[in-house]
A and B are shown apart, each in its own frame.
Chain A
Amino acid sequence: MNSFALPTPQLAALAAFTLLLFLSGTGLAQNTELESLRALVKGMEQQLQKALQRIDQLEKDKGATTTRVDQVERSVKSTQSAAGLLNPAIGMAIDATAEQRNKAGGTFNFRSAEIGISASIDPYARGYAFFNGSGDGVEVEEAAMVTTSLPWNLQARGGRFFADFGRLAKFHPHEYAFVNSPLSLERLVGGESKADGAELSYLFSTPFFLRATVGGYNKLGAENERLDDTKSRAWSRFTYLARLNSYFDLTDNQSVEVGTSLAYTPSIRIASDPHGGSRTLSGVDLTYRYQPLGSTLHQGVTVGAELFGNSERVERASGFRRMFAPGGYAYAEAKLSREWAAGFLYDNAPSLASPGKKTHSYSPFLTWNLSEFNRLRMQYSYLDDKVREDKAERGHQFFLQWTTVLGAHAHGFRTR
């Protein structure tokens, strides 16, 4: 042991003191480091927050600037062509066929050039019109006002329009899946359900689609010659309509739409029949659709059928008698690709005067959609005709149809 040696208890005390100092120093250093790290993280968080706020602000500014630019552009455009911008949407459908009927011969048939216009009238109504030019001349097919903001789920329509009877009667012929209007529709309804009058529809507050329509018209049916559209009449000589229409999604890809319609005319005056009497036209329509959502462009099947029944007094050899004439059609169409579709139409059309006599027709058809607005269709029809009213309605028939649409031509919800 040397002279500098400290006594053992003192040495132990000094060592313990030094160790304590060292440890406390380390602890202090660690605490300081932690705190500085915390401060650094906090600072970074604040900076990140500021950066995010800045990005958000820039987005807002960008949005506001773009909106302002949009507004200025719109303003300039509106001053340059205010009248043009207020013009309604306008479009035209042209429909022509080349036909060969073995009992009547062949023809190039210019079926129609239909001009449609549509626009909002004000915040409360929309107006639309379809003018149809054909071999028979030019006529106003539809020109109507529809309300857009009635309360209680109501919608009113007035003017000349296709009344809400059945399904196919509301289609313009160029929209059919096949070439010709079914003869059952022509004879029983009178072609399209064209009518001058007013309608009120109510959308039920159900989870599924359910809509009721009531209407009153001068007469119903484009080819209906029983009544005159231009003359004033008693209440009993108007035609009154009621329709209930519903739709169900069976799955995401399959749906069914059903409807039932009744058109009642209390009194029809026929020149040679002093009693006149009422006319009741009823109908049931059913449409099944398979529309695979992921491939609606190139796949799908539609099956549609309608049954009609017409009851009225008709002239027979034995005199006037009330007759009930039932008839209808059914068709199926399959989309084979985006361009091609094929289908088959069966039609059962009775004679109104002798419902036992019918014209049965069978029509396979093939459609080639060159684009959404340009379509060629081929159809063969065989008509087994026992009615014998028109030789153009019997035997073998061939059609080649060319239909095009120019501009904004849409018939909307009715012809879905």
Chain B
Amino acid sequence: MQLERRVVLSAILSVSLFWCGIGTAQAQSIRVVTTIPDLADITKQIGKELVDVESLTRGVEFMHAVPVKPSFVPKLNRANILVAMGLDLEISWLPALLEPASNPKIMPGQPGHIDCSTGITVLEVPRSVDRAEGDVHPKGNPHYNLDPQNGRVIARNIADGLARNYPQHKALFEKNLAAYLAELDKALVRWQGMVAPLKGTKFVAYHSDWAYFANRFGLQQAGSIEVKPGIEPTPNHLVGLAQKMQQEKIPLIIYGPQSDRYPKQLAGQSGAAVVRLQSISGGAAETDSYVKFIEHNLRSLLTALKKG
């Protein structure tokens, strides 16, 4: 009987210690919520075992039409840190979720809110803001993650933000940052070599969110399927665009999470290749990290143009 009691007591003690251990481990990890998977991946690379990171979006969404899901609210409520792209990329859904989340620590302007756009050289800042020009971004093009050189700035902002909130771990964040930047630099050299045959290639985009990508890899946007940002094409616009593509021998149409109806129709009329690229990472095994996502986009481009 005594032996049985001892066994039972030991079992209870072990289970209690195990749960205490889990509790302590959970209490120690920094809960980080990011708006897109790119930021989650980079935060994991910098925070390593100190952070418990979750992205609100999966990576397949159109960033201007992310559903306002109440299931995001408890995640934001429990977060120690929120990492966001800024430049109003999340304007249509994040502010609506922050209010019911009741977490003052991560509100914009607070130390727990890391805005990764700090220090980015912003492209396509409009001279005037008028909805007659479509659904323009008043602060400029917010898709800066498509330029891997900006990945360096994002990583630096995340490391600084984590260190601001947890200064006791600053040295570790800096060390992990240096290792990640070295990996990114190596990949950047490889990518520049990969896309050398694409330099100067003209393309038509469904939505104008590829400026940073084109700028980095030497592509030229020559038109868009949308009449204006956010405005679907008219039949006349598509006819004019197909004629322009034939005259200027534009070989490529790029689209993202939009319907493939118009890109395929235009490809049929102009003979151009069509490629679907991702504007954020995630959504598939081959794009489950920031580096893999850039690589996947470049390989998709090369395959589409039969230069891979």
> Which A residues have a C-beta under 8 Å from some C-beta of B?
52, 55-56, 59-60, 62-64, 66-67, 70, 123, 126, 146, 148-150, 153-155, 201, 203, 205-209, 211, 247-249, 252, 255, 257, 289, 291, 293-298, 337-339, 371-373, 406, 410, 412-413, 416
Q: Is the CB of A52 within 8 A of B185?
A: yes
Kindly state whether residue B53 has any CB partner on chain A within 8 Å: no
A-contacting residues, B225-262, CB 8 Å:
230-232, 257-259, 261
Kindly state whether residue B50 has any CB partner on chain A within 8 Å: no
Q: Which residues of A contact B67 (CB under 8 A)?
A: 289, 291, 293, 296, 416
Known: A56-B178, A66-B119, A294-B61. A416 touches B71 (CB 8 A): no
Stretch at the interface among B21-29, B94-102, B193-201, B208-216: B94-102
Looking at the assembled complex, report how far the CB atom of B103 sits from the nearest CB atom of chain A, in whole angstroms: 9
Indicate which residue in A59, A66, A150, A372 contacts B230 across the interface (CB closer than 8 Å).
A372
Q: Is the CB of B68 within 8 A of A413?
A: yes
Kindly state whether residue B283 has any CB partner on chain A within 8 Å: yes
B152 and chain A: residue at smallest CB distance = A59
Kindly state whether residue B104 has any CB partner on chain A within 8 Å: yes
Q: Provide 22 A-B residue pairs closer than 8 Å at the C-beta atoms, listed in order of the A residue.
A: A63-B118, A63-B153, A67-B118, A123-B104, A126-B99, A148-B99, A149-B107, A201-B100, A203-B73, A203-B77, A203-B100, A208-B74, A209-B70, A247-B70, A255-B69, A293-B57, A295-B257, A297-B257, A297-B258, A371-B134, A413-B96, A416-B68
Q: How far is the CA of A337 from the CA of B283 in the complex (A)?
A: 22
Q: How far is the CA of A168 from the CA of B182 in the complex (A)?
A: 53
Top 8 A-B residue pairs of the complex, sorted by shortest distance between their CB atoms:
A63-B119, A247-B70, A149-B104, A209-B70, A294-B60, A416-B68, A412-B96, A413-B96
Indicate which residue in A64, A203, A338, A406 contacts B259 across the interface (CB closer than 8 Å).
A338
Q: Is the CB of A371 within 8 A of B231?
A: yes
Known: A154-B102, A296-B62, A338-B259. A206 touches B74 (CB 8 A): yes
Q: Is the CB of B74 within 8 A of A293?
A: no
Q: Which residues of B contact A150 (CB under 8 A)?
A: 102
Q: How far is the CA of A339 from the CA of B230 in the complex (A)?
A: 11
Q: Which residues of A contact B68 (CB under 8 A)?
A: 413, 416
A294 and chain B: residue at smallest CB distance = B60
Q: Is the CB of A294 within 8 A of B102?
A: no
Q: How far is the CA of A373 from the CA of B62 in the complex (A)?
A: 18
